[in-house]
Structure 1
């Protein structure tokens, strides 16, 4: 639902009744990710998309039905591919998707407007939405605020609300939208619920060390991918905002000193492009001990072999080397800084999504894999 934050926020503030359609499950090569939403108000205004155009008409009609007096508060619909109905339904991509359609009254769901306030202010928040369970709970939501993790709203009882909030906090820390299950045990309550947790987290950080042309190209790619980009180098003559207009921050400092003082998390990508052992070794020694998402270093295979020797001498444990992507990037035949930036960005995407990095034409199975 956070793909249409602006409309949801405005409609909640207006206390406008609307129907919300959300993709809650995807199989095969259907185009939208889980959590993608579409909204329809009582006047037929539509914002968003659940299939890139494939099944919009059918979902729109379901939304209109939800807004009719006496209709159920929520319902699920499954759209799949078959020889008979491929063009009628529209999923000619061969995928399957399940959509939850629910009526939302902002005058009742007060906490939803509060959660959307956090999103538009770019503060971390998660919204947990019941997508499977007792009929009376289907579509119900609970929001978790990032600063302190307080939650608002109620699903069933206090124990289950706390269990959902714990799951939502974990996904918020990871910056992932995903399905979770709670209940079905004595720890919560007998009834099991499946929830889709929508998260809004600050953009992941990309820390680029080395003020050179490759860093300039990579900072542009990182910004395009919605990372918060920092370029850091100890040489002030090269480390200027003018040379790196796409970076959010340009820092003049010794790389390892800056890394020790800055905040990182499990989504942070560290890209070492300095080519200089006096910068690389203390920086990588520190980076390989941090809980970050990706650590890569530029250089030839000969440079990499020498780098490993120096890191061993610096006391880095052998098992940490498996975390180092060196030489950095995928094998795309890159030569220019721009091509190299694409190679590095592609490796970060593949590593983050646990993908192979191979050509899709050489693989089999679904193109769009579930988010891990």
Structure 2
């Protein structure tokens, strides 16, 4: 829903109903994951998507119908379904889509929800997408400490919130099973964790391109360097923060404050042993997702020698991606940034970085693992 939120909130504030489709489950080579949304406004405009374009037209019409009659729909499109083939789903996967009407009555706390998502505060929305009459469309909003709304009874609310918080901590969306006094329900939890962080050390030209790419990928980007003349917001307009400090000191402070986690990526672009050896020594001891450092082959070997001399062990050194990035054959700041981003995405998704032309099997990774008690594949 994040990608359609500005338009959705605008129509909600205008008190005009809209149709919203959300992916609830996927199987096989489906291009979008649970939580992806398509919004259809009262003027017929469409924002977002639930597939790679295969079934958008069919889902678009369902959104218009739901906005008009207020009746929610849960529909599945897959290669085995004649309806799906007619709709044009040719990717080989299967998707399940929940379509509903959104207005001030069906989503009374949308403004509160939007404010938290926009501010980067962890939040999740749990919506009943299948169940006994009167259940579909019920929802609750939750964060780390409380919730608003209800899916039915206090007992089912508490059970769903407990599972949904686990998904929120993991940064995953998924479908849960719930039981409301003997009435089974399927509940879609769409999680909006705080954005993962990208720390870019070194106020160099490539850093500006890396910051732009990081922001494009959804990271909260910080550029840090100890040289104030180069480390300015004007030189790094895409960064959320521009910090003048010694990289190792800033990194140590952020780690001590608990503002880094296993999703954090660190790109060291300083080209100067005074800066990069101290910050890498600390970074390689942190449980972060990625640590990469720029430099030539010779500079990389020299840096590794310096890190060993500073007490960095073999296991920690093995985590260092250096020279940083994938071999794309590019040049210049922008193409270098694409190379770095490609390596980060490949490591995050478990990809090989190889050409898809030369591979076999599914293109898209499977859906994230589901929590115990979820609906699962059927």
TM-score range relative to shorter protein? 0.7 to 0.9
State the partner residue of 1:58: 58
- CA shift for structure 1 position 156: 3.3
Can you list the C-alpha shifts for 1:50-72, whole angstroms capped at 9, x where unaligned?
A: 33543234324434554676x8x
Equivalent of 2:138 in 137, 140, 147: 140
Equivalent of 1:232 in 206, 212, 224: 224
State the partner residue of 1:367: 363
Q: Is the 8 A contact 2:29 2:366 kept in 1?
A: no
Quick one: structure 1 residues 350 and 133, their matched pair in 2 at CA, closer, same or farther if it must change by over 3 Å?
farther
1:38 counterpart = 2:33: no
- CA shift for structure 1 position 131: 3.9
State the partner residue of 2:151: 155
1:296 counterpart = 2:292: yes
Quick one: structure 1 residues 253 and 131, their matched pair in 2 at CA, closer, same or farther if it must change by over 3 Å?
same
Q: Tell me, which stretches of 5 or more residues in structure 1 are unaligned?
A: none
User: Secondary structure at the residue paired with 1:110?
Assistant: coil
State the partner residue of 1:115: 113
Q: Is the 8 A contact 1:30 1:91 kept in 2?
A: no
State the partner residue of 2:247: 255
Q: How far apart, in 2, do the equivalents of 1:338 and 1:68 lie?
A: 46
Equivalent of 1:279 in 275, 278, 285: 275
- CA shift for structure 1 position 218: 1.9
1:264 counterpart = 2:260: yes
User: Secondary structure at the residue paired with 2:277?
Assistant: helix
- CA shift for structure 1 position 288: 2.0
Q: How far apart, in 1, do the equivalents of 2:309 and 2:78 lie?
A: 57
User: Secondary structure at the residue paired with 1:340?
Assistant: helix
Q: How far apart, in 1, do the equivalents of 2:188 and 2:362 lie?
A: 22
Q: Is the 8 A contact 2:18 2:64 kept in 1?
A: no
User: Secondary structure at the residue paired with 1:197?
Assistant: strand
Quick one: structure 1 residues 114 and 321, their matched pair in 2 at CA, closer, same or farther if it must change by over 3 Å?
same
User: Secondary structure at the residue paired with 2:353?
Assistant: coil
- CA shift for structure 1 position 257: 0.5
Q: Is the 8 A contact 1:4 1:47 kept in 2?
A: no
1:222 counterpart = 2:214: yes
Please provide the CA RMSD for this pair.
3.3
1:210 counterpart = 2:206: no
State the partner residue of 2:174: 179
- CA shift for structure 1 position 87: 5.8
Can you list the C-alpha shifts for 1:4-31, whole angstroms capped at 9, x where unaligned?
A: 2123323444554454321212334444
Quick one: structure 1 residues 167 and 283, their matched pair in 2 at CA, closer, same or farther if it must change by over 3 Å?
farther
TM-score when normalising by structure 2: 0.80
Can you list the C-alpha shifts for 1:28-51, whole angstroms capped at 9, x where unaligned?
A: 44443322223457x674543433
State the partner residue of 2:95: 97
Matches within 5 A, 1:332-351: 332-351=328-347
State the partner residue of 2:78: 80
Equivalent pairs, count:
363
Q: How far apart, in 1, do the equivalents of 2:100 and 2:131 lie?
A: 14
Q: Is the 8 A contact 1:100 1:139 kept in 2?
A: no
Q: How far apart, in 2, do the equivalents of 1:20 and 1:241 lie?
A: 38
Could you tell which deviates more after superposition, 260-269 or 81-90?
A: 81-90
Q: Is the 8 A contact 1:163 1:182 kept in 2?
A: no
Q: Tell me, which stretches of 5 or more residues in structure 2 are unaligned?
A: 369-378
Could you tell which deviates more after superposition, 343-352 or 239-248?
A: 239-248
User: Secondary structure at the residue paired with 2:109?
Assistant: helix
